[in-house]
Chain A
Amino acid sequence: MINRTYELMFIVRPDMVDEELDKLISTLETAVTSTGGTVKSVEKMGKRRLAYTVRRFNDGMYILLTVEGSGGLIHELERRLRVTEPVIKFITVRIDEEQKRLDKIKKLRDARKKAAPAPAAAATPAAPVAEAGEATPVAQ
């Protein structure tokens, strides 16, 4: 059951070199893949001013890591982040339930949009398309 999607955002101290940062990210990525997960995306959100002082730092480099895997994987990642000295803060959010809800809403919206402008003619080609779209997530 490794279909949980997590978003891991962490802050690195601002005086860190880019190569060290890349090294850290690749270490985390290897940890993810070795435990059987997948890294969906890595986003460096750049240097930002912190809203309050963390470990005597006023700015930090924000990195967003989207990961797919089990809960044990996150446990391992967080343990690593806690130990890593340049990382000053992190938060993990589970996003698969939220994603499901958003997809459902989007699907309802699209179905309504297709139904509204062309009621008779376009509805019949649209309806099987919508059904096919609904069937695939159910199969997953």
Chain B
Amino acid sequence: MADETKAPVAENTASETPAASAPSSSGSSSGPSSSGGSSSGGSHAPHRSGPRDSRDSRGPRPGGPGGGREGGRKFFRRKKVCKFCVEKIESINYKDVRLLAGFVAESGKIVPRRLTGVCTPHQRRLSSAIKQARNIALLPFAGRSN
């Protein structure tokens, strides 16, 4: 993986044309190494968004089943429903730690909504409730430092 990231970086520095080479080089490489490609594109000053745009247009986030385009995303994407909408939970309070802890990873990070299936307005309220709970030491900021 690390070797693959080094190869496009070498190509970019050798060719010295920022815009033209950057999209093509990152287009050939797969998902994780394209992030390496975009960082090298950023070092060539004017076109920072070049490789990023091509990456977005090439591989849009798969909403339904049929992921795996970005390589390495092995999560099973079935139709997930928002827990709050189904159970009609209206108030997401920072005080109910048990409810919030279900949406926090072991490391203490807030789980993204594409994994939990929560709808956007509820995810926003959930996220602010988790941040409030973190401030009052009901939830940790960082669980286990690896």
Across-interface contacts of A52 in B (CB, < 8 A): 137, 140-141
Q: Judge if B110 is at the interface, Cβ distance under 8 Å.
A: no
> Looking at chain B's contact residues, is the secondary structure mostly helix, strand, loop, or mixed?
loop
Interface size class of B (residues with CB under 8 A): 10 to 19
Contact A51 B137 (CB under 8 A): yes
Number of A residues, CB within 8 Å of B: 17
Contact A51 B140 (CB under 8 A): yes
Across-interface contacts of A9 in B (CB, < 8 A): 95, 136
Across-interface contacts of B139 in A (CB, < 8 A): 51
Contact A91 B136 (CB under 8 A): yes
> Looking at chain A's contact residues, is the secondary structure mostly helix, strand, loop, or mixed?
strand
Contact B90 A89 (CB under 8 A): no
Q: Convert A26-70 into 0s and 1s, putting 1 for each residue whose CB lies closer than 8 angstroms to a CB of B.
A: 000000000000000000000010111010000010001000000
For B95, B135, B136, B137, which residue has the most chain A Cβ atoms within 10 angstroms? B137
Across-interface contacts of B134 in A (CB, < 8 A): 51
Q: Judge if B138 is at the interface, Cβ distance under 8 Å.
A: yes
B138, closest chain A residue (CB): A51
Q: Judge if B29 is at the interface, Cβ distance under 8 Å.
A: no
Across-interface contacts of A48 in B (CB, < 8 A): 138
The distance from the CB of A68 to the nearest CB of chain B, in whole angstroms, is 18
Contact A91 B90 (CB under 8 A): no
Q: Judge if A102 is at the interface, Cβ distance under 8 Å.
A: yes
Across-interface contacts of B140 in A (CB, < 8 A): 51-52
Q: Judge if B94 is at the interface, Cβ distance under 8 Å.
A: yes
Across-interface contacts of B94 in A (CB, < 8 A): 93
Contact B91 A93 (CB under 8 A): no
**Which B positions have Cβ atoms within 8 angstroms of A?**
90-91, 94-95, 132, 134-141
Given A51-B140, A51-B141, list of 9 further CB < 8 A pairs?
A51-B134, A51-B139, A52-B140, A60-B137, A64-B95, A89-B136, A93-B94, A101-B90, A102-B91
